[in-house]
Copies of this chain bind each other. A is one copy, B any other.
Amino acid sequence: MTDLDTQHVRTTTFRARYSETDQMGVVYHANYLVWCEIGRTDYLRDLGMTYAQMERDGLFLAVADASLRFHAAARYDDRIRVDTWIESVRSRAVTFAYRVVRLQDDAGEVKLATATTTLVARDAEGRACKLPDTIRDLLVRAGTDAP
């Protein structure tokens, strides 16, 4: 993981949905990948480019690998915060990192999970391609934005 002190971190908050729980009474583990994607969507929006527009422009970011570590369970209606930052940028790929926490009523927080996902650039035909310079530069600047 990178040093958060020198990184831009974007946060997004929402409540855990009933549909996201399973019979163990907690949020089903695969849904954390969905939550990471919400964090990623909001991260890119904050940089001034939406992923929706990127796809309309013919650039697709496909998940190439993902790893998750689970520390505590989320429950229905919990207030969840996803912190998203960029871990690395290469010519054809970008790696995002995530920390998922539960917000407590006492203003404290409990770490639920950490994760990383690496996304590779694809064109409209699904072929691997380079990240366009403008997008790559934005991501690099966001990922190394030291004070």
Contact = CB atoms under 8 A, between A and B. Distances in A.
Interface stretch (A25-33, A88-96, A103-111, A134-142): A25-33
Interface size class of A (residues with CB under 8 A): 35 or more
Interface in A58-77: 60, 62-70, 73, 75-77
Contact of A76 (B52, B63, B66, B126): B52
Q: What DSSP secondary structure best describes chain A's contact surface?
A: mixed
A86 to B, nearest CB: 18
A35 B67 CA distance: 16
A126 B24 CA distance: 9
Interface of A: 14-15, 17-19, 21-26, 28-31, 33-34, 37-38, 41, 50-52, 55, 60, 62-70, 73, 75-77, 126
B19 A21 contact: no
Given A19-B30, A41-B77, A77-B50, A67 B68 contact: yes
A54 to B, nearest CB: 11
Contacts of A126: 73
Contact of A22 (B18, B51, B52): B18
B64 A70 contact: yes
